[in-house]
């Protein structure tokens, strides 16, 4: 699919609350994106028994290469990855213990090493918890991992998320709108282009739909984007905007409670009550009320303040300006988890560092990096199956020339993009902590 699927006029690219796109427009955009739906990955398929060891050997060499990067001093006794024989790797249990090293920001999930349709990039899983920490790093970690995006799709997704973050940020001005199910017909007077058949049940739902259709139109300019992927990005962006709005001045709230206790010798609950009565923290009345009445919550304000104080290294004797800086730096981060775009960015960064993205590592009289398609053209056809299969994983069994030790790391090489029918839209309501919908219109 070309990078620009739609050749639109400049005026057609406008975004904002007054740019109304119809249901017909939405259907047209969805139709344009339909060919990008990838073939499903069979969750029950496993690599052939004769190929299992070769997959594990390849993953072991990646672990060694990473360990040499993140801990060069500790890894000096290890040989270079390509110098290990098959028996040596097996005796070392394929260096799986390195997955547990605290310096590794990722690991290979054991279940994924069995799936023949995945390449090594797709098998990488980022850690959701840092060493000695119970704080999640990613909002919907399991969902991100189970999508098995290729490097190419992750790259496009990151760019798309950045684009909608700029183009539809106008919706942040409408987060305060009524989200009740009561229909407000006066909304149609503000937007006469919407007839009563198009009118949703709340002002927020209308704005949500307007922005979603604009986001879907933007998706048609990105290769590999699908309706479901665009919808997931859109919903994560809305969640992020809501998170920012709900955490407004949270650092100041924590600091004010700390200051009253540390500098004015208040009892903790007295400090919380005093802050509760301040007008400037109206948005946080509910959590302050829960704190005062010892209502069951996942993390109390007291625990959060203690965590910030401990990590920031401040005590009761710390100067107020120093403490204020610590709360400004850490408070928001304690609440904000990373989204799929940030997950993909981190994963691509690791892949680039290890040379996993669209690369072939050939151990033949030294080490040479070469593209799979280049290799297929350079070597006689007898070394490759004919035709080259779509599910090409680079295992040694694909080659008939035994003296060549070819270690492939990277994307499969589809000679054509297979199409599959679109999956049925989700029709049930997912509640937090479930991931956002893949189709906003089914919420």
Do 223 and 342 sit in the same domain of this protein?
A: yes
Q: Is residue 5 domain-resident?
A: no
Place of tokens 């600091």: 255
Do 316 and 373 sit in the same domain of this protein?
A: no
Average pLDDT, the chain: 78
For 99, list phi and psi in degrees, rounded to 5. -60, -25
Q: Is the sign of the CA dihedral 11, 17, 18, 22 positive or negative?
A: positive
Do 239 and 342 sit in the same domain of this protein?
A: yes
Which domain range does residue 87 map to? 49-148
* Res. 68: pLDDT tops 80: yes
Contact between 124 and 153 (Cβ < 8 Å): no
**CA-to-CA distance for 347 and 149, rounded, in angstroms?**
10
pLDDT higher for 168 or 431? 168
Do 87 and 144 sit in the same domain of this protein?
A: yes
Q: Is residue 2 domain-resident?
A: no
Do 295 and 380 sit in the same domain of this protein?
A: no
Q: How many CB atoms lie within 10 A of CB 132?
A: 6
Report how far apart, in Å, the C-alpha atoms of 99 and of each of 95, 140, 286, 382 are: 8, 21, 42, 38
What share of the chain in percent tops pLDDT 90?
Answer: 58
pLDDT band for position 194 (cuts 50, 70, 90): low
Do 229 and 315 sit in the same domain of this protein?
A: no
The reported pLDDT for the residue numbered 113 is 86
Do 268 and 324 sit in the same domain of this protein?
A: yes
Give the model confidence (pLDDT) of 72-93 as tens digits: 988 988 999 999 999 999 999 9
* Res. 12: pLDDT tops 90: no
Q: Is residue 431 domain-resident?
A: yes
Domain boundary among 148, 174, 194: 148
Domain boundary among 148, 172, 200: 148
pLDDT higher for 307 or 403? 307
Do 35 and 154 sit in the same domain of this protein?
A: yes
* Res. 312: pLDDT tops 50: yes
Do 34 and 160 sit in the same domain of this protein?
A: yes
Give the β-pairing of 360-363 and 367-370: antiparallel
Do 298 and 342 sit in the same domain of this protein?
A: no
| Number of domains present in the structure of the chain | 4
Domain boundary among 123, 148, 173: 148
Mean pLDDT for 290-312 is 93
pLDDT band for position 55 (cuts 50, 70, 90): very high
Contact between 5 and 32 (Cβ < 8 Å): yes
Whole-prediction pTM value? 0.73
Report how far apart, in Å, the C-alpha atoms of 442 and of each of 178, 421, 427, 437, 439 are: 19, 19, 5, 8, 6
Do 308 and 263 sit in the same domain of this protein?
A: yes
Q: Which two tokens stand for residue 269?
A: 């609950």
* Res. 402: pLDDT tops 60: no
Q: Is residue 117 domain-resident?
A: yes
**CA-to-CA distance for 220 and 232, rounded, in angstroms?**
15
Q: Is residue 74 domain-resident?
A: yes
Q: Is residue 1 domain-resident?
A: no
Whether omega before 367 lies within 30 degrees of 0, making that bond cis, reads no
Do 289 and 432 sit in the same domain of this protein?
A: no
* Res. 284: pLDDT tops 90: yes
pLDDT band for position 185 (cuts 50, 70, 90): very low
Give the model confidence (pLDDT) of 202-253 as tens digits: 889 999 999 999 999 999 999 999 999 999 999 999 999 999 999 999 999 9
**CA-to-CA distance for 308 and 318, rounded, in angstroms?**
13
* Res. 376: pLDDT tops 80: no
Contact between 36 and 224 (Cβ < 8 Å): yes
Q: Is residue 272 domain-resident?
A: yes
Q: Is residue 224 domain-resident?
A: yes
3-state secondary structure the chain: CCCCCCCCCHHHHCCCCCCCCCHHHHHHHHHHHHHHCCCCCCCCCCCCHHHHHHHHHHHHHHHHHHHHHHCCCCCCCCCCHHHCCHHHHHHCHHHHHHHHCCCCCEEECCCHHHCCCCCHHHHEEECCECCCCCCECECCHHHHHHCCCCHHHHHHHHHHHHHHHHHCHHHHHHCCCCCCCCCCCHHHHHCCCCCCCCCCCCHHHHHHHHHHHHHHHHHCCCCCCCHHHHHHHHHHHHHHHHHHHHCCCHHHHHHHHHHHHHHCCCCHHHHHHHHHCCHHHHHHHHHHHHHHCCCCCCCCHHHHHHHHHHHHCCCCCCCHHHHHHHHHHHHHHHHCCECHHHHHHHHHHHHHHHCCCCCEEEECCCEEEECHHHHHHHCCHHHCCCCCCCCCCCCHHHCCCCCCEEECCCCCCCCCCCCCCCCCCCCCCCCCCCCCCCCHHHC
Contact between 172 and 241 (Cβ < 8 Å): yes
**CA-to-CA distance for 221 and 183, rounded, in angstroms?**
34
């Amino acid at each position: 699919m070309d990078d620009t699927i739609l050749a639109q006029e400049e005026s057609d690219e406008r975004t904002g609350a007054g740019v109304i796109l119809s249901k017909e427009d939405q259907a047209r955009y969805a139709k344009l994106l339909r060919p990008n739906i990838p073939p499903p990955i069979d969750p029950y398929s496993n690599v052939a028994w004769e190929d299992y060891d070769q997959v594990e050997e390849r993953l072991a060499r990646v672990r060694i290469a990473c360990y040499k990067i993140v801990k060069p001093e500790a890894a000096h006794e290890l040989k270079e990855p390509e110098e290990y024989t098959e028996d040596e790797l097996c005796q070392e249990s394929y260096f799986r213990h390195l997955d547990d090293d605290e310096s590794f920001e990722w690991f290979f999930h054991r279940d994924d090493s069995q799936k023949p349709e995945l390449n090594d990039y797709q098998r990488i899983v980022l850690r959701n918890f840092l060493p000695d920490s119970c704080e999640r790093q990613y909002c919907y970690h399991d969902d991100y991992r189970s999508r098995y995006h290729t490097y190419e799709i992750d790259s496009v997704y990151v760019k798309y998320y950045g684009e909608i973050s700029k183009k539809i940020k106008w919706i942040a001005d409408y987060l305060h709108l009524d989200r009740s199910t009561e229909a407000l017909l006066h909304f149609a007077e503000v937007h006469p282009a919407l007839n009563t058949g198009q009118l949703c049940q709340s002002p927020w739902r209308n704005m949500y739909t307007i922005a979603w259709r604009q986001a879907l139109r933007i998706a048609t300019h990105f290769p590999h984007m699908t309706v479901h992927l665009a919808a997931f990005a859109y919903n994560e962006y809305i969640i992020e905007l809501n998170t920012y709005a709900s955490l407004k001045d949270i650092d100041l709230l924590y600091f004010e409670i700390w200051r009253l206790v540390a500098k004015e010798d208040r009892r903790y609950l007295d400090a919380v009550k005093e802050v509760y009565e301040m007008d400037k923290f109206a948005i946080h009345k509910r959590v302050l009320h829960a704190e005062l009445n010892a209502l069951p919550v996942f993390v109390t304000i007291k625990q959060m303040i203690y965590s910030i104080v401990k990590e920031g290294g401040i005590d009761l004797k710390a100067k107020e300006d120093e403490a204020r800086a610590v709360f400004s730096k850490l408070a928001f981060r304690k609440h904000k988890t990373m989204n799929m775009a940030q997950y993909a960015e981190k994963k691509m960064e690791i892949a680039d560092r290890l040379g996993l993205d669209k690369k072939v590592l050939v151990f033949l009289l030294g080490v040479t990096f070469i593209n799979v398609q280049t290799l297929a053209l350079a070597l006689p056809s007898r070394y490759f199956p004919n035709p080259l299969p779509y599910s090409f994983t680079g295992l040694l069994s694909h080659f008939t020339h035994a003296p060549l030790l070819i270690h492939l790391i990277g994307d499969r090489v589809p000679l054509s993009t297979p199409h599959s029918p679109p999956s049925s839209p989700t029709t049930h309501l997912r509640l937090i902590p479930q991931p956002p919908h893949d189709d906003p219109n089914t919420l």
